[in-house]
Amino acid sequence: MLLSLLADASYQWGYFGAAFGAGVAAFAAGFGISRIAASANESVARQPEAAGDIRGVTIITAAFIEGVCLFAVVVAMLAAFGINTAVQEIEKKNPDVRTEKSAPEEGAEKAGG
């Protein structure tokens, strides 16, 4: 019973969690890069002679943030497909486990029996 509920929950919430995680990572990366750009513009306005150094540091920092965002999205996708694979493994080991995809309609059981 509990195993069946966990299998159903993983189908329902696994993809949602992965999409939510990827969305939060992308939003946070966009917010972080916008903060970097705002600070860089303010710094160049205060010290125009340091514009080259500030530009270089800004580009490197933005690249690091993009890398972290890409890593987070890849981990979220791996988690989504890993959950699906884990549920399929559970179904193979325990054929009596019913999930949404493999469960017959309840009305069909009552009509046939």
**Residue 100 and residue 4 in contact, taking contact as beta carbons nearer than 8 Å:** no
Q: How far is it, in rounded angstroms, from Cα 59 to Cα 40? A: 10
Q: How confident is residue 113, by pLDDT bands cut at 50, 70 and 90?
A: very low
Q: How confident is residue 101, by pLDDT bands cut at 50, 70 and 90?
A: low
Q: Which residue has the higher pLDDT, 34 or 97?
A: 34
* Nearby residues of 56 by Cβ (< 8 Å), 6 or more positions away: none
Q: How confident is residue 105, by pLDDT bands cut at 50, 70 and 90?
A: low
All structural domains of the chain: 2-99 (1.20.20.10)
Q: pLDDT by residue (tens digit) across 29-78?
A: 999 999 999 999 999 999 999 999 999 999 999 999 999 999 999 888 88
